[in-house]
Amino acid sequence: MADPNFSWIYLVIFLAIPLARIIPRLLAKYRGEQPSSDEYTRRFDEFGQPEPVRSFTKKEPSQPLTREKQVLGELHGGVNSFDKLQKNTGFDTPMLNSILEDLEKKGLMKVVEKQGMFGPKVELYSTDKGFKEYYS
């Protein structure tokens, strides 16, 4: 007894359904029909007014940040490589290197060496202690 061939189901799911949505749009475009502005406002009114988007901005500190806190702030912001830290803070290489060594000695930052696609890479992460130090 032969097994029934149900490959037509894949044709329906992956070809017919998307085409059923695309073909009317293409026909309307070919005919030169464009949706009126009333249609857009009607659809907008259907869903109501959108909620305002909340933007989170960095709160400027009342006192100037030390160099260590600037580096910790960048680490908390998601920067985890030496090059990006140097670019964002504007410190020269020896100064940034000494700051990172101090942070590592104090336990405010940790260095993780990973094996990347093109060889080993070094990533910098702040610790919980560093997080507390930055926000204190």
| Torsion sign over Cα 90, 94, 97, 99 | negative
Query: What is the rounded CA–CA span in Å between residue 45 and residue 84?
Result: 45
Using the 8-state DSSP alphabet, how is residue 107 labeled? T
CB-based contacts of 114: which residues, under 8 Å, 6+ apart? 120, 121, 122, 123
Q: Which fold has domain 67-134?
A: Arc Repressor Mutant, subunit A (1.10.10)
In the chain, CATH 1.10.10.10 covers 67-134
Query: What is the rounded CA–CA span in Å between residue 110 and residue 25?
Result: 55
Name which residue leads in pLDDT, 45 or 34.
34
pTM score > 0.75 for this model? Answer: no
Q: What is the mean pLDDT of residues 111-135?
A: 88
* Extended strands (E) in 1-136: 109-116, 119-126
Q: Give 56-108 pLDDT, tens digit per residue.
A: 555 555 566 788 888 888 888 888 889 999 999 899 999 999 999 999 999 99
Name which residue leads in pLDDT, 128 or 14.
128
Q: Is residue 43 within 8 Å of residue 78, measured between CB atoms?
A: no
